[in-house]
Every structure is written in C-alpha cells, then in structure tokens.
Structure 1
Amino acid sequence: MADVAARAGEPSTSSGLVGGDKFERRTATSFWESQQRWLDTGQMRARGNVDPQPTGPEGPGIPTNLSPAHIPGPGDEASEFAIARILWNYFRTSLSPTFTGGNLNEEESKTMTQSIRASTAETHETSPENAAWFRYVLGQYPTGVTLITAAPGDDEPAGMVVGTFSSVSLDPPLVAFMPDVRSTSWPKIRETGSFCANILTAGQQDVCRAFSRKAEDRFSANHWADTPSGSPRLEGAAAWIDCDIEDVIRSGDHDIVIGRVRALGVGSSKELPLLFLRGGYGSFTIPSIISPATALTRHVKAADAARPVIEALAEELKLEVLVSGVVDDSVVVLTAAGVDSSPGGSPSRVGVSFGLAAPLAPLHVAWAGEGAEKRWIDNAREVVGKIDATLAHAELEQVRSLGYAVSVDVGAAAEFERIVHVPSDTAAPDLSGVLPLLIERAASSGPAALDDPAGVTSLHAPVFDSEGQVAVTLTVNGFSGDDSLARLEDCRDRLAASAAAITQTIGGTPPSAIAP
C-alpha cells in the first residue's frame, strides 16, 4: 500500500489546500521552505485526506495520498489478460494526452524541483523517511478528484474531497477510497454506512475548494439529487457512484474504505474530469482514444495508423470521427477523435459495440463475400423476424458503387445513440428498436445517398487491408440532419481521402472499382 501514502499537493478529503485558495498565491519556494520548517520542528507529518488542523504555520496540511488507477481483471497468469495488459500499455503510451491548467508555471516548477533536491542533498534521496521528498516523488503521479458525500441522519450532509478513489472489483462491483484517520468528516460518513463518489469535472475546481476549506455554503451553493442510498449526488459531475460501505481496513495513518456499488451513472457535462498533478489542477486534452480489447489485436496496425489521421480530420471538420472494426459479428469502436463534438455528449465512444445486422454497417459486408452477406441478413432476421433480402442486397450494391456509405434518419440515429451510449462487457445492445426504423426507411426511400441531404446523420468510408478486405471503417458522426449538400460533399471527400491515406499507410489494396 505504498501507493496510497502521502504526496505533495494532492487533493485532500476535507482539508484546505494549504489554507484553501492561498495555495495559488504562494510561491513554490515558500511552500517548500514552510514544509521544511515543519519537518525541522517535528510539527509536520505526511498528511493525507485530513481536515484543517490547528497546528502548522500556514493552516491545514497538504493533501496527500494517491492510489493508482486499477484495471479490474483476472491475474497475470491468465494469458488473455496478459495480452490485454501488453496492449493497454502500448495504447496508453500512444495516447499522447496533454495536461492543461494547473497552478504552477514552468519557472515555479523548476524552483520547486531545485528546492526539493537541495533539501535532500545531504540525505538519502531515495529514502522514504524524508517526508517532503516522499511527497514530491509521489506528486509526479496525477490523480482524479472525487467528492465523497453522505447524509448522516438528521445532521447536515457530510462531504470530503479525495484523490484516492479507485475501482477495485467488477464481480462483485467494488470501489475504494482512502481517508486519513484524523479526518473529522470521515467518521460522519462512516456512521451512515453509505456514500456517493462524485467525480468532479475540470470546471468544478470551485466545488473542490469549497469542500476543502469547509465553506459554509458548500452544499447550498450547488445543486444536488438523491441516490438510492440517500447520499447527495452532485449535479454536473462527470460521473457518480453510489455505494454501501462493505469494509474498512486500517493501513498506516489511513483507512481503506471498500464500497459495494448500488448504482452509478454519468453526468451530462461534456467537460473532462478534473485532475491534480504537482500541486496544480488541470485536465487532459485527448486527441484520440483507442481501445485495448484483446480480441482486437488484428486491428492494431490499422487503428494505430488511423489515429493521427482522424485527429486531424476531426479538427478540420469539427465533428466526431470514429474507427470501427468487426469482432465475432459485432462492430466495435476502436478509436475516437473529437468525442466532445458529439451532440449527445458521449464521454467516449471507444468500446461501444453493436451487432453486425442489416442494414447496419454495410461497409463491413460489401466486399466480404456471399457468406458474410447471408450472415448479415440472418442476424437482422433474428432481431426483427422478417427482412426483405432484396433491400439489403440493394444497400450493399449501392455501397460498392459509391465506395462509401450514408446513414440517414434522425429518429433512428437518436434511438441508436440511446442503446449504445454506454459500453458493456456482458450484453450486446438491443437492436429491436432501431432496425425496424432503418428497414422501414429503406423500404420507402431506397438505399441512402447524398442526393437528398435531408436527414443525413453520418458518413462512412472503408480502409482496406492487403487482401482487399475492409480492415476498419471511418465514420464522421454528428451531423444535424439539416446540413447543406455542399457541406456534406466536402466532408465526404475529406473522409474518403483520409481512408485512402490510411489504406496506403498499412499497405492495403482497395478494390479496383474504387481505387484512386
């Protein structure tokens, strides 16, 4: 549990960040000088999620502890998860996220580093006994910022900000956070037997500060909803997880609180979560996100080649761009760029999957042969009971002729968004509500095309492998249904050019009918 020990400048559970807002106005040098004074006088401990204390020259202790992100799954001895970990490390290092925001500028960070090095020059720089050095090293690890709330009986609600919230287990669904044993808020939460973890967004720094310094209006100044446990849920949070306290384990100067999840959900905000790193708040900018699923190993080359291309395309078009592949008769979103452009505010498309059933995703079937076409139609028949194969074949012929696909029908698109909004590991989305809408539209209007731009919601283009088969598809998503023909044609041309560029990069060979 060394990971959960104290670190410099991490959000506390209910303490002020070095006296609340004063932290932003203090220089890095004065910060570390004050910490060294505390060490020298024996007044400072490595503080973690701790409420304001009367000791110390400048208010409460520095927020401290941190636990690494946990990816639930079997042990490393399971080969499929060993592969998953390799892929995850590969994809994680290729994301190139950028930390934006924060309270320390480059010169202050440099000064802080020099100060810490100077303070440890005469000691063992690798020794965890030096609390300031310990915090500084642990401060290199970024954390999310989570508000833990509870409603203790007739008393006022309780709340504390933590940087130690983490997932623990999928089966049963368990999470955890680690408060300092000296916290005055944690006993109130423990007494209720339940809590709600509210994941703060980058725009909720004021909420974090209000709870850190125990502002009198910290609850009244915000909007709240109830959870099944009765704990307050912060409206506008990136996500919320309602839990019953399953277990509490003492570990050093912190408790490890295990919560069994009752209910959970995501918020409506498009903002990314708030992060804390090296004493400053900020957030990530994520040009693209890529799925680490083990079954997608054969798509790695195409998905990785697509990443910089779709980032540029999403930026040019100001729309969402997705890369999808087929795994076991399911279409899976492998990579996404411009996800904040999604009209539905989806936090991430990556991992979303749905059945490969007519008339959905015709690009994955159009060049795959008669067997694939039959299975595509049969999959739809299992959902809706009856389907006109002639219409399905006409859709495929249209795709082969144009070299791209068009999705229309705003109503069907809205229903599709609803059923695939949250990725699932256990169940495929129920297509029984969306397939009839698409089939009815095809029966009345024929295969979709840009001849009539009304109702167009997305455009799709294929990326081919070396055998002339579709490796992945690109989707430009987020049209309103009222876009002009000129706008749609421009997006189509840029999309086609991007798909062709990726095909060339991976050594693919498009069918002669649509070769450039």
Structure 2
Amino acid sequence: MMSTSTAHRSPEDPAWFRHVLGQYPTGVCVITAQPADGPPIGMVVGSFSSVSMHPPLVGFYPSNTSETWPHLQRASHWCVNILAAHQSDVCRRIATAPLAERFEGVPWRPAPSGAPIIEGAVAWIDCVPVAVHDAGDHKIALAEVRHLDAASTELPLLFFRSGYGSFSPLTLTAYDPDMSLTRPLRHFELIRSIAQELPDQGLRCLVTAPVSDSVVVIGQLDPPSGSVAARPTTLVGQRLPFRPHGPSIFEAWAPAGEQAAWVARFSPDSQEAEIRALARIRERGFSIGLGSEGHRRFAAALEQLAAEPGAVPNEELDALVASLDYEPADLTDAVLAEARVISAPVFDSAGSPVLAMTVFGFRAKPDIVRDAIAAVTRCAQRATRTLGLAPRRD
C-alpha cells in the first residue's frame, strides 16, 4: 500500500523524479569520438539502449546542458564503451576531468572508425550518428551500428540509487558468440523457472549441456545471500572437459554405440566398473559424486576459474576430472554423508539427455542429501515434461 506521505508527490519535483527513477538500475557507458584535430572525447551516459535490429540502431540521451555533447555531436563516428564493474575510476575521470585531459592514464585502442575503445570495457559498439531529436531537457541521439564486440567476461558497472556498483548474479546464462549454444540456451530458457526452485530451496545449481567434447555451464542459479561480493564471480560459459572418470550423466542414456565408445575411453581394468556405473545412473535417475581429495582440488579449480576464466589449463582440468569419485554402489547413510554433488538429466522431445541440473553446496548429512536428491530429480522431471517427454527409465 502506498504511503500517504509520498502518494501525491509531483513528477514536476526534480528531486522526487530522480529518486523514483533511481530505483531502476542502469549500465554505465562512455561515448567516445576521435576528432581529426584534437584529443579524444569521452562522455559518460547511463541512458543508453538498443533501438532497432533492422537496421541496427542504438541510442543515448545527452542533456541539453552538457558541455561535452556539442563536441561529440560534431564527430563523424561514435564508439559506445560499456564499462566493467571494476572501472568506476575510469567513469569518474571521464565524467569530471577537463575535456582535453579525460583520457590521460586511460588505456585505449582505436575502433575501426578510429574512436577510442577503452581497454577492459565489457563491450564496445562502433557506430555512425544518424539523427538527433529534441526530448524536453535532453536530446535523443541515434546511431547506426557498424562494428561491435563483447570484449570481456567481466560483469558490467551499474548506476543505482545515485551510486556505482555491480550486481551479485543469482541467475546467469552463457554468452554464445559462435552460436554453438543456441539449442541448449533455448532449452534453458524454457525450464529456467523450474530450475529456479532449487536455489529457492537453498541449493546452488549449475545447468550444463554437452557441446562437442566439453560440458558447458549454460546457467547458474544461486540462493539469495545477505552478503554481496566485491567482484561477483560465475562459472557460466565455462567449458569443462567431458572425460573419464567424470560424471557420465549424458552417456547413461546415450545410444549403445555411443556408450561403447565412451566406455572404451577408460582403461581396460576400469571398463566393467564404468558399465555398472552407467547402469546405476539409469536405475537411480541421477548421478552422485562423493567428497574426496580429487573433488576438493576440482572445487578449488572451479572457484579459481569463476574468479579468473582461463586460469586453470585444460590439461590440469583433465587430470582433476580423472580423479573424481562418482556412482557408489550403495547409498548408505555413511556414503550419503560423503555426497558433494548430485546431477539429474533433462531430456528433449527425442529422448536425449540435453541438460543436466547439478546441485551442490548442501550440508553432507544423509537426510539433507536425500532431500537434495528428491528436489533435483523432481525439477529435472518437470523440466523434461516441459521439453515434451516424460523421463526415460530404460
């Protein structure tokens, strides 16, 4: 219910207008240009948006009182730089330094047009001005995109309630520059609301998909937390090796020939054990991984990758995956007390396991582990029905 003290505040009150609109977070961009006869120009904006795809247009909204805008308006090209969360110092410098000194100490390189691309920016968009319209005490500046790139895996800088910061991601999906994840990302969007029930129950969840010889983290869902990390981290987009002796959740329901090829990758003395492990996954409907030194080292490697993508070489990841301990023969209380990860398959309409929901971060107590198993398998079965097929148990 709206408070009577604020219900009738007028939109003509600038302070109140800014306060209410400040509840909506915006990204922070620097619009740059390179004049032919002077130093580069930069202007900070928080009001930038995509306008059209055909043709590709973007827009921003400079103030009529901006001292930078008249210089920027005369430029033949603009480059929009979407700043990363750690670049608040760059933002402040370009917002406050004299026009001719804004890029002193700010590393940059030229875009195809020659306008500055600020090093470390999350993305840049090189464009040509096409129109400027009056809009009250601002302008609407439109530009046609000529070149663009997502240049960093960092999270973006946000402006919210008159301050700068970043967000702590609860749900993220993978970036797909080469379109290799189009199908699994579509599947994830269809079942996202179901997967969200897991963090709502306090479980951390990764959604993965098999792509070529890797398992790709396409979604991450974390429970809300009272603490916000200074630099939020995520595994989304990380490609993990699909190797023995890692979880075989995607191979357990594969065609016989594919299963045989998978088993053949194990050493001869391990092949029978892997055949039995695949049978256990099919019978149980989930994969379970136990705590071990290998799991601890693998978890540490994942934390490192979340903080700094590429920090752990693929060869090291391969070796860590080979040391993991999955699919125990019996699920006694003593064994469940060692459980660290649980994965359940999501099938597409053709009956193929196309996604896996993996939960972790739960307390290793038998009853809690059983609840986690029930939660993730229940969500995976509902997700499968959403994709058009009841779970297979053959």
Q: TM-score, normalised by structure 2?
A: 0.58
Of the three residues 68, 74, 85, the one matched with 1:202 is 85
Q: In the alignment, which residue of structure 2 is the partner of 1:305?
A: 197
Distance 1:169 1:402, change over 3 A: farther
Structure 1 residue 337: Cα displacement:
5.0
Q: Answer yes or no: is the 8 Å Cα contact 1:399–1:405 preserved in 2.
A: no
Correspondence 1:364 to 2:250 = yes
Please say if 1:154 is aligned against 2:37.
Answer: yes
Contact between 1:228 and 1:242, CA under 8 Å: does it hold in 2?
A: yes
CA separation of 1:301 and 1:209: change in aligned 2, threshold 3 A: closer
Q: What is aligned with 1:430?
A: none
More helix, by proportion:
1
State whether structure 2 residue 157 is matched by structure 1 residue 274: yes
Measure, in 2, the Cα distance between the counterparts of 1:178 and 1:262.
Answer: 20
CA 1:196–1:498: 2 relative to 1, 3 Å: farther
| Alpha-carbon offset, residue 158 of structure 1 | 0.8
Distance 1:469-1:238 versus aligned 2 partners, 3 A rule: closer
Distance across 2 between alignment mates of 1:234 and 1:397: 53
Q: What's the counterpart of residue 104 of structure 2? A: 220
5+ residue gaps, structure 1: 1-113, 314-320, 339-344, 378-386, 411-416, 422-433, 452-458, 478-489
The equivalent of 1:349 in structure 2 is: 236
- Identify the residue that residue 473 of structure 1 maps to in structure 2: 356
| 2:74 aligned partner, one-letter code | E
Is the contact made by 2:250 and 2:345 (CA closer than 8 Å) also made in structure 1? no
Residue of structure 1 in register with 2:386 after alignment: none
Query: What RMSD in Å do the two structures reach over aligned CA positions?
Result: 5.3
User: What is aligned with 1:6?
Assistant: none
The one-character-per-residue Cα deviations of 1:206-229 (angstroms, maximum 9, x if unpaired) are 222222223464311211112111
Alignment match of 1:264 (pick from 148, 155, 167): 148
Q: Which residue of 2 aligns with 1:318?
A: none
**Inter-CA distance 172–277: structure 2 relative to 1 (3 Å threshold):** same
Q: Which amino acid aligns with 1:500?
A: I
Q: Give the Cα–Cα distance (whole angstroms) in 2 for the partners of residues 297 and 286 of structure 1.
A: 16
Find the aligned partners of 1:136 and 1:506 in 2 and give their Cα distance. 40
1:463 to 322, 338, 344: 344
- Separation in 2, partners of 1:141, 1:130: 18
In the superposition, the TM-score normalised over structure 1's length comes to: 0.46
**Residues paired across the two proteins, number:** 310
How many percent identity over aligned positions?
37
CA distance in 1, matches of 2:346, 2:357: 14
Structure-2 separation of matches of 1:499 and 1:511: 21
| CA distance 1:346–1:246, change in 2 (3 Å) | farther
Q: 1:209 to 1:390 in 2, by over 3 A?
A: closer
- Give the aligned partner of residue 64 of structure 2: 181
**Aligned equivalents of 1:140, 1:148: Cα separation in 2:** 24
1:385-400 alignment runs, 5 A limit: 391=264, 397=275, 400=278
Give 1:503's aligned amino acid: V
1:366 is displaced (CA, Å) by: 1.9
Q: Distance in 1 between matches of 2:235 and 2:148?
A: 17
Q: Which amino acid aligns with 1:400?
A: L
- Letter of the 1:133 partner, please give it: W
1:44 counterpart residue number: none
Per-residue CA deviations over 1:281-301 (Å, capped at 9, x if unaligned) read: 222111332589665466346
Q: Aligned residue for 2:375?
A: 502
Residues 1:301 and 1:255: Cα distance change in structure 2 (over 3 Å): closer
- Contact between 1:224 and 1:235, CA under 8 Å: does it hold in 2? yes
Instruction: Name the CA shift for 1:305/1:187 in 2 (closer, same or farther; >3 Å).
Output: same
Q: Which has the higher strand share?
A: 2
Q: Contact 1:197 / 1:240 at 8 angstroms: preserved in 2?
A: yes
1:97-176 to 2 correspondences below 5 Å = 124-125=8-9, 127-176=10-59
Provide closer, same or farther for how the CA distance between residues 217 and 201 of structure 1 changes in structure 2, counting only shifts above 3 A. Answer: same
Deviation at 1:392, TM superposition (A): 7.5
